[in-house]
C-alpha cells in the first residue's frame, strides 16, 4: 500500500512549506495525499559575478523575496492563509542566514494563524521525495538506498523508515556538485557549473583525457572529488589568459563528467553490500539532473535488478514541495506511533543537523529532546 493511502483523516491539510537553505527561495502548498496544490520557486541571480553562493547575499535575497512568494503561492492555490493546516520550513542543514529567514517567516505565519509549525531537515526532505505519489512506480517502500548528490552533499544513505536513516558513506572533501562548479570555473564556463559542464561535454570525448578515479575499488562507499578536481587543473595551461581550444575544453569536460559517473557507480556497488536488500535505488539532489549520471545509475539499477527512482528535475534541486512532503510524512509517522503532531516553534535553525537525530522525533516530543 502506498504511504498516501494510509494518511489518517485528521492530519492538518494542506501544508505550506518554505525552502531557503541555499540560493533557491521556494514556497509550496501540498495536500496530505501528496497532491501538489501550488508551488513557486525563485532562483537567485546575484551570485553569478562571484562564481558561487555568497551567504549574506543569499539571506538578504530570501528576506526580500519571501513575502511576495508566499502571496503568489496562495494566489495560485486560490486559498486564504486561514485555510492552511500547518506550516513547515527547512531548518537545517544549510546556510544559517537563509535558514533563519525562512524559519522565522514560517513560525510567524504559524503563530498568527494558530497552526502547527514543523521544522524539516533539508536532507530528510531530499531522502523522502521519492515517496511522493507518482515519483516511484511502487511508491518507494522502505528500506531503499538513496544517493544524494548536490552542490553541498554527496552521500549514500540507507532509508529505513521516516526518521530512521543510516549513513553508509559520504564525501571526505568536495561534494560532486562543488567539483562541477570548480571545474566549470577552470574552463571559463558560467555558474552554476553543472549544466555548463554537461552542455560542453556533449561535444567532447569522455575517453580523451586520462583522469584519476579517487577511492575507486576501496572498501566502503565514501567519496573523494578533490584529487579529480586537481587533476583537471593540471591539464590546463598555466599561462595567464591562455584559453583552451574548444575541442580540448570539451574533451576535458566529458572526461571529468565520466570520471564522476564512474566513481559514483563504484561507490554504490559497495553501498549495496552494506545494507540488506533495498527495495529501490533512489537518486536525489541537483547533480541528479545530469544526464550521463542518470543513465549510468539506471544501468546500474538494472544490472542489480533494482527499481530505479529519480524525481522530476524540478524536484531534484532544492524545492519546497519536498519540504512539505517531509512534514507530512513526519506527521503521519508520529500519529501512527501514537504521538502528537509536532509544533517546533522553539526549535532553532541549525547549519548542521545530522540525520541520525531525526529518530528522536519518532519516540518523544521533539522539543524535549532536540536542541
Distance CA(245)–CA(168), nearest Å, equals 41
Would you give the end-to-end CA distance of the chain in angstroms? Answer: 35
Contact (Cβ atoms closer than 8 angstroms) between residue 19 and residue 25: yes
Q: Round to whole Å and give the CA distance between 236 and 346.
A: 51
Q: Is 244 annotated as a binding residue?
A: no
Question: Could you tell me if 325 and 30 are in contact, meaning their C-beta atoms sit under 8 angstroms apart?
Answer: yes
Does 290 appear as a known binding residue? yes
Query: 148 labelled as ligand-binding?
Result: yes
Residue 149, marked binder: yes
62 is in an annotated binding site: no
> Are the beta carbons of 88 and 49 closer than 8 angstroms?
no
What nine digits make up the cell of 280? 529501490
What whole-number distance in Å separates Cα of residue 331 and Cα of residue 329?
A: 6
Q: Is 152 known to sit in a ligand binding site? A: yes
Is 2 annotated to bind ligand?
Answer: no
**Rounded CA gap, 21 and 357, in Å?**
19
Beta strand 24-30 with 15-19 is: antiparallel
- By the 8 A CB rule, do 97 and 26 touch? no
**Of 149, 140, 133, whose CA–CA distance to 283 is shortest?**
149
φ/ψ of 27, rounded to 5, equals -145, 140
The strands making up 144-149's β-sheet, listed across from edge to edge, are 164-170, 154-161, 144-149, 281-284, 308-309
The answer to whether the beta carbons of residues 84 and 107 sit under 8 Å apart is no
CA distance 368 to 371: 8
The answer to whether 150 is a known ligand-binding residue is yes
Task: Say if residue 262 carries a ligand binding annotation.
Answer: no
Dist CA 330 CA 191 (whole Å): 35
**Residue recorded with cell 489518517:** 8
* Closest alpha carbon to 53 in 284, 286, 220: 286
| Residue 198 marked ligand-binding | yes
Query: What residues are designated binding site for Fe cation?
Result: 122, 126, 318
Query: What residues are designated binding site for substrate?
Result: 148-152, 181, 194, 198, 290
Query: What residues are designated binding site?
Result: 122, 126, 148-152, 181, 194, 198, 290, 318
Amino acid at each position: 500500500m502506498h504511504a498516501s493511502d494510509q494518511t489518517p483523516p485528521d492530519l492538518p491539510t494542506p501544508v505550506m512549506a518554505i525552502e531557503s537553505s541555499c540560493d533557491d527561495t521556494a514556497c509550496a502548498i501540498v495536500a496530505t495525499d501528496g497532491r501538489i496544490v501550488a508551488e513557486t520557486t525563485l532562483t537567485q541571480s546575484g551570485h553569478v559575478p562571484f562564481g558561487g553562493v555568497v551567504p549574506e547575499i543569499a539571506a538578504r535575497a530570501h528576506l526580500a523575496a519571501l513575502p511576495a512568494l508566499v502571496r503568489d503561492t496562495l494566489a495560485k492555490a486560490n486559498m486564504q492563509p486561514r485555510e492552511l493546516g500547518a506550516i513547515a520550513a527547512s531548518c537545517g542543514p544549510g546556510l544559517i542566514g537563509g535558514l533563519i529567514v525562512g524559519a522565522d517567516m514560517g513560525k510567524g505565519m504559524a503563530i498568527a494563524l494558530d497552526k502547527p509549525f514543523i521544522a524539516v531537515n533539508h536532507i530528510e526532505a531530499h531522502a523522502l521525495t521519492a515517496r511522493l505519489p507518482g515519483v516511484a512506480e511502487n511508491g518507494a517502500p522502505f528500506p531503499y538506498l538513496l544517493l544524494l548528490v548536490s552542490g553541498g552533499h554527496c552521500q549514500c544513505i540507507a532509508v529505513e523508515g521516516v526518521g530512521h536513516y543510516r549513513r553508509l558513506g559520504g564525501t571526505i572533501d568536495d561534494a560532486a556538485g562543488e567539483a562541477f562548479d570548480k571545474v566549470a570555473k577552470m574552463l571559463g564556463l558560467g555558474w552554476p557549473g553543472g549544466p555548463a559542464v554537461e552542455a560542453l561535454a556533449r561535444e567532447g570525448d569522455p575517453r580523451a583525457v586520462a583522469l584519476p578515479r579517487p577511492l575507486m575499488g576501496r572498501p566502503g562507499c565514501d567519496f573523494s572529488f578533490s584529487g579529480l578536481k586537481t587533476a583537471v587543473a593540471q591539464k590546463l595551461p598555466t599561462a595567464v589568459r591562455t584559453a583552451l581550444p574548444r575541442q580540448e575544453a570539451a574533451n576535458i569536460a566529458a572526461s571529468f563528467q565520466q570520471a564522476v559517473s564512474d566513481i559514483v557507480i563504484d561507490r554504490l556497488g559497495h553501498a549495496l553490500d552494506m545494507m540488506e536488500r533495498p527495495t529501490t535505488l533512489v537518486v536525489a539532489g541537483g547533480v541528479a539532473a545530469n544526464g550521463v549520471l542518470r543513465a549510468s545509475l539506471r544501468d546500474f539499477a538494472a544490472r542489480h535488478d533494482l527499481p530505479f527512482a529519480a524525481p522530476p528535475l524540478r524536484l531534484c534541486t532544492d524545492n519546497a514541495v519536498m519540504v512539505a512532503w517531509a512534514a507530512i510524512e513526519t506527521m503521519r509517522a508520529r500519529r501512527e506511533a501514537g504521538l502528537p503532531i509536532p509544533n517546533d516553534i522553539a526549535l532553532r535553525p541549525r547549519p548542521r543537523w545530522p540525520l541520525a537525530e531525526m529518530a528522536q522525533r519518532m519516540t518523544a516530543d521533539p522539543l524535549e529532546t532536540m536542541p
